[in-house]
Amino acid sequence: MSLWVPFEKFNLELLKRTTIYDRHQLENMYGQWTTYANSIANVLMMVPSPDESDSCVGHLEHQPIFQSTLTNKAKCNVPANCKMYLEAGSGFGYALLHRILLFVNSKYGRNCAMFSEKEDKYLTDKLCFMAYNENQYIALSDFAVPDLFGESIALCGLLGHAHFLTNFWVKSIMMHQKVDGCFMADVSKSNEDFNEKTVNETKQWSLSQGNDMLNGFCNKHMTSVALLKVWSGYDDGVKRQSRELLENL
């Protein structure tokens, strides 16, 4: 993460603007669980698709890191379609989180704004409220999509949305931790011991591989999401904000 952009503090106003829905209301939003699960699994129909999202991140990565200034934040130089995804992409599933992730990459990775600093903040807050509603549905469905659920907590917690970091939600992710420290999407495998003698790691570029690592003993995506979530919740500055939050509840 960057040294030139201060991390977001927990914002009590964001907490006050959240709405708690019951299952019937959430089913009206997302459909019956089977319909919703099939929809989020069909990632190629999402906007942006995984390839489209990767392309936009790639454009950001080829830009210089903008130095901090006291004036308006520099504009990110990305294709128009990348900005279109941010304004009018899919409102649920992995595509929604990829929209949030692109904002995070621009802010903390390149210190630039996709639109303007004010509009970026408005849009990220809007997207995180959408992700929070979706997480409520996942939580009421026995946390059936843990990687999607955990990524929402990690990204939006990083952006100051304290309501994602409830003990119950965080503990549901920690249940996926293996005894050796890494995480698996399948909680039934979390008690398996890692035996380094059985591992035959490839030296091929890791981004071209799937999410499994150490011959399937760990999941890269779940582990990275969990680490970011823990970091968001237990950074010293966030600890102070957490105490203030609890005092004002």
Question: pLDDT tens digits for 123-135?
Answer: 999 999 999 999 9
Looking at the chain, the whole-number percentage of residues with pLDDT higher than 70 is: 63
1 in a structural domain: no
pLDDT higher than 50, residue 232: yes
Arithmetic mean of pLDDT over the chain: 77
Mean pLDDT over 19-45 rounds to 95
Question: pTM (2 decimals)?
Answer: 0.74
7 in a structural domain: no
34 in a structural domain: yes
- Provide the pLDDT confidence category of residue 209 given band limits of 50, 70 and 90: very low
Task: Give me the pLDDT at residue 51, please.
Answer: 93
Among 146, 156, 160, smallest CA distance to 211 is for 146
The Cβ-side half-sphere exposure at 180, using a 13 Å CA radius, reads: 14
What domain count does the chain have? 1
Distance CA 44, CA 167 (A): 33
Lowest mean pLDDT among 90-104, 158-172, 195-209: 195-209
Distance CA 128, CA 111 (A): 20
- Provide the pLDDT confidence category of residue 224 given band limits of 50, 70 and 90: low
Task: Give me the pLDDT at residue 177, please.
Answer: 64
The Cβ-side half-sphere exposure at 63, using a 13 Å CA radius, reads: 23
Distance CA 41, CA 237 (A): 36
Rg (CA), the chain: 19
Pairwise pLDDT comparison (241 vs 65), residue with the higher score: 65
- Provide the pLDDT confidence category of residue 242 given band limits of 50, 70 and 90: very low
95 in a structural domain: yes
pLDDT higher than 90, residue 13: no
198 in a structural domain: no
Query: Is omega for the bond preceding 48 within 30 degrees of 0, making it cis?
Result: yes
Residue 177 domain boundaries: 12-193+205-248
Looking at the chain, the whole-number percentage of residues with pLDDT higher than 90 is: 41
Task: Give me the pLDDT at residue 62, please.
Answer: 87
Task: Give me the pLDDT at residue 84, please.
Answer: 96
214 in a structural domain: yes
224 in a structural domain: yes
3 in a structural domain: no
69 near 5, Cβ under 8 Å?
A: no
